[in-house]
Structure 1
Amino acid sequence: MSVIDVFHAPRDFTFSDFGTRDVSLSDGDTVMLRFPRLDASTVRALADSVRRHREETLARYSTDRIVNAIAQAVELWTDPSYSERRLAEHLIPAITGYDASMVRIELKRYMRMFRRRELLRFVDDELDCPQMLDEYRPNRSGGYTRLYGPELSFHVFSSNVPGIPVWSMTMSLLTKSSILGKSSFDEPLMPVLFARSLASVDPDMADALAIVPWRGGTVDLEDAAIGEADVVVAYGSSHTTEAIRPRVRAGKPFLSYGAKIGFALIGHEALRADLYADTVHRMAIDVATYDQQSCLAPQTMFVERGGAVPPAHVAELLACELESQQRKYPRSTPSEEESLAIQRLRSAVQMKALMLGAGPLAGACESDDDSMASDDPFVIQSRSDTDWTVLYYPSVGMADSLSTPLNRTINVVAVDHVEDALPVLRPYTQWLQTCGVALEPDRLFAVAQRVGAMGIDRICPLGEMNRAKSGWHHDGGFNLLDLVHAVDIERNTDVYCDGFDMDVE
């Protein structure tokens, strides 16, 4: 049986006690995941270690050197035969339940976001002068500014989407922060593999990283890490992030990325006879990718009337596309609670349809039920269990909620104009994040102007909702600026200090 370590620590740090967890692979083999057993004193010792290594190495690196090291590590992942990539493609599906082909494709795309040219976009997009991370540089007010990152950042990683920890780790490294990362037992591998890649390129830099898993809600370990850190960054459910927030003392930065709701606006122009098939295919990709577990994924799609196919028929076509996606990329197995939530929602919409006199539709792409042609609510569901669900509503007033139980469960809501969707978004402002659009250019910016006012922080093409681009502002904030603090030398200070130079006239 192979043993895989799902932790990373500085080379001079040792653990004394370990636990294991067995994972069964699709080929019948079993691997053993090994992890350290921790107590609060070990967490504090880890924090001290990475902080010391940062002071000796990372804090003295130039931003260019950090960018180049990360880029070299990421470049390794562009080789299909790279050992860490092959390990990720082999084990992550077994650990998470995600389809292996989907993991392979999405990880390949995701890691390319951190190539050198993309990292430069991260830095240049937010900082007028990236060298301010290295030294005092002239600012526009006539003085000088230097940006300082945290000595230690504590990251609580989520397990819903493999690869997200790479984003968080990269942002901290670019600010020259050491990292103490808590990974999830539901996906403890990817941040460790990325740390190993960094270690193969720059082992001194990788010594400023520590990644260890422990059970969420282990208060003594979390409090030890929070107490040591200068910044706390938490990903996960709203319950997870809100449980941590009160334990971060006032004045200490706390960046939380909890559950969010995405939606799509599909104009009639995207449903022309020559375009609607591609549009529906893109809708299905956004729903199926990582089973909507990403905070970027859509839960409701607003479809405008007036196209070559009406919204009700779009819902039927989407059901067929989701069935194709299920055959190509089977959905992971949801929990019993998640399955029950999907069944309850299906039943609620079917009951609503019956009360309105329409026949509830069950099954996939195979019924001639008149409810499909009428403009009444209906449900189209997978023939097998809760693999996917399309809930159709003929108006925004019919939809009880814009959120769903996820796991490829999607609302399709008909509107006369896509702008009709905007008023119903207002109660969800604090949870909104990504808006996928399929609109002609003349409408894009007018709609974007109004959508932005609703709380959305990202607008992207339909079919790319789960694939944020480098430089985007996560939850409307900044990737680097939210991690640093600025120190200014005010103008004339240097001139005043010149007066103490005996050689100055």
Structure 2
Amino acid sequence: MSVVDVFYAPRGFAFDDFDTHDVSLPGGDTVTLRFPRLDAGMVHTLADSVRQHRDATLARYSTDRIVDVIARAAELWTNPQYPERRLAERLIPAITGYDASMVRLELKRYMRMFRRRELLRFVDDELDCPQMLDEYRPNRSGGYTRLYGPELSFHVFSSNVPGIPVWSMTMSLLVKSAVLGKSSFDEPLMPVLFARSLGSVDPDMADALAIMPWHGGTTDLEDAAIGEADAVIAYGSSHTTEAIRPRVRAGKPFLSYGAKIGFSLIGRESLRTDLYTDTVHRMAVDVATYDQQSCLAPQTMFVERGGAVPPAQVAELLACELSSQQRKYPCSTPSEEESMAIQRLRSTAQMKALLLGAESMAGAADGASDNPFVIQSRSGTDWTVLYYPSVGMADSLSTPLNRTVNIVAVDHVEDALPSLRPYAQWLQTCGVALGPNRLFDVAQRVGSAGIDRICPLGEMNRAKSGWHHDGGFNLLDLVHVVDIERNTDMYCDGFDMDVE
């Protein structure tokens, strides 16, 4: 039995007491996860330690140097034999229940977002002058501007998608903030492994990081961390993020990333005879990746009539493709509560299909009708496709996730947009399969409906570097701006005895 530490602290920081949690691996092996027992005093001490290390190193680094360190750490993950990557690929599937092949593929893709060229693109996209994080630089008004990040940021990491903590940690490091991270017991490993990678590249900078798991709702620990931090960043369910919000004092930056809903718009041009197979495959990839647990994943897909394949047949083809995905990347086992929610949704949709089917058959002379239906996995709740012939028939655009998706037929994809308004605060990503002559017009309307990211079908779970998470700024929302106003420098020149 091997022991793996699922915490990270600055060098020299010692813990006296530990708890453990055993994880069973395929083949019968067991790994013991070890983590320290914490109290509020230790949280205060950790916060003080990382803040001091930040002042000594990170605060003095140039932005370019920080980018270089993060990029070098991420580059280590491009080597399949890198020990931390191998450990992640071995343990994360066992901890989370996600398919091992899916984890291996998605982590490999995800970590490449943090290579130098991607980080530079991201920083330059968000900041007109990244050097303002290092010193006062001329601004357009004729004065000078400097950007200051928080000395310490407290992060509440979620467990639904492995790797997301890496993004959050990177955002704080880029604005020269020390990081105190609370990881989840449902996936405590990835932020620790990335911290180790940073430590192998630049141990001084990595000393500005502390990652600790503890149970959510442990208010004495959370209050200690919130009180110490200059900014709070929380991921998780809406319940989790809203429980934290009142405890963050006014004026302190609080960025929350709660539950979201994604959807897709499938145009008739993507359902041509030479394209529909690829389109349906991409739909299935978006649904199957991490079992829709990502806030980027689609829960409802609007399919336009008029293509070579009608929407009802698209639903049937999607069911076949999800069955193939299940054989290739088996779905994780949902909780009892999640399974019950899926079964209830299936039953409700099937009852509606029976009632509407009886009514339409009674009123149709030729017996032809377009009725709702449900296609589901043969065993358990591995996947579910619910088809609705019109927008009004779907009770909700959200689903219980775990590869449960609505397919809604529309005459035009624009017909779907009014149904999105009640969900505006929860909307996140829109995957599109549309012709170029329609993209920007539809994007204009989708943006006004509340969506904040539009991407190709099949790439909904793979946000690119530079995206604006939940429609906000990842760096600018963390910094405060100090301006030296125009003519201040010339006024100060007057106190130079040598100035004429």
Partner Cα separation in structure 2 for residue 225 and residue 27 of structure 1: 40
Whole-Å Cα distance in 2 between the matches of residues 166 and 289 of structure 1? 19
Q: How much has 1:358 moved relative to structure 2?
A: 5.3
How many pairs are equivalent? 494
In the alignment, which residue of structure 1 is the partner of 2:440? 445
Q: Deviations over 1:253-301 (max 9, x none)?
A: 1000000000000000000000000000000000000000000000000
Residue among 379, 403, 408 paired with 1:384: 379
Q: Could you tell me which residue of structure 2 aligns to residue 364 of structure 1?
A: none
Distance 2:97 2:392 in 1: 36
Alignment counterpart, residue 489 of structure 1, candidates 461, 484, 488? 484
TM-score using structure 1 length: 0.97
Inter-partner Cα distance in structure 1 for 2:447 and 2:90: 40
Residue 180 of structure 2 aligns to a residue whose secondary structure is strand
AA matched with 1:177: S
Alignment of 1:398-477 (within 5 A): 398-477=393-472
| Aligned counterparts of 1:478 and 1:468: Cα–Cα separation in 2 | 14
Q: Which amino acid aligns with 1:431?
A: W
- Post-superposition CA distance 1:65-111 (Å, at most 9, x none): 00000000000000000000000000000000000000000000000
Query: Residue 270 of structure 2 aligns with which residue?
Result: 270
2:426 alignment partner AA: W
Matched, 1:375 2:393: no
* Cα distance in structure 2, aligned partners of 1:462 and 1:57: 43
* Corresponding position of 1:106: 106
d(CA) in 2 for partners of 1:16, 1:178 = 24
**Structure 2 counterparts to residues 156-167 of structure 1, below 5 A:** 156-167=156-167
TM superposition shift of 1:357: 2.5
**3-state SS, counterpart of residue 309 of structure 1:** coil
Q: What are the within-5 Å matches in structure 2 for residues 29-178 of structure 1?
A: 29-178=29-178
| Structure 1 residue aligned with 2:363 | none
Residue matched to 1:366:
none
Q: Is the 8 A contact 1:270 1:279 kept in 2?
A: yes
Residues 365-404 of structure 1: CA deviation (Å, up to 9, x unaligned): xxxxx99x84100000000110000000000010000000
Answer yes or no: is the 8 Å Cα contact 1:122–1:479 preserved in 2: no
CA distance in 1, matches of 2:482, 2:199: 32
1:221 aligns with 2:224: no
Q: Take 1:145 and 1:252, find their aligned partners in 2: how far apart are those partners?
A: 21
Provide the secondary structure at the position in 2 that maps to 1:428: helix
* Alpha carbons 1:338, 1:405 under 8 Å: kept: yes
Structure 2 counterpart of 1:281: 281
Residues of 2 paired with 1:358 and 1:262: CA distance? 33
Q: 1:286-318: CA deviations, max 9, x gaps?
A: 000000000000000000000001000000000
State the shift of 1:194 in Å: 0.1
Q: Which residue of structure 2 lines up, in the alignment, with residue 318 of structure 1?
A: 318
For residue 233 of structure 1, give the secondary structure of its aligned residue in structure 2: strand
Contact 1:358–1:376 (Cα < 8 Å) also in 2 = no
Given residue 157 of structure 2, which amino acid in structure 1 is its aligned partner? F
Secondary structure of the structure 2 residue equivalent to 1:410? strand
For structure 1, the 5+ residue unaligned runs are: 360-369
Q: CA deviation at 1:15?
A: 1.0
The residue correspondences of 1:235-314 to structure 2 (distance < 5 A) are: 235-314=235-314
Question: What letter is aligned with 1:326?
Answer: Q
Q: RMSD over aligned Cα, in angstroms?
A: 1.1
Please say if 1:356 is aligned against 2:348.
no
After TM superposition, list the pairs within 5 Å mapping 1:13-24 onto structure 2: 13-24=13-24
**Percent identity among equivalent residues?**
87
* CA distance in 2 between partners of 1:133 and 1:287 (Å): 39
Q: Distance in 2 between matches of 1:473 and 1:479?
A: 7
1:336 aligns to 2:336 (yes or no): yes
For normalisation by structure 2, the TM-score amounts to 0.98
Q: Which aligned segments of 4 or more residues in structure 1 are displaced greater than 2 angstroms?
A: none
AA matched with 2:219:
V
SS in 1 for 2:392: coil
Gaps of 5+ in 2: 360-365
Structure 2: how far apart are the matches of 1:476 and 1:103? 27
2:498 is matched with 503
AA aligned to 1:168 is: S
Deviation of 1:492 after TM superposition, in Å, equals: 0.5
Supply the distance in 2 between the matched residues of 1:301 and 1:447 (Cα, whole angstroms).
15
| In 1: Cα distance, 2:174 partner to 2:34 partner | 30
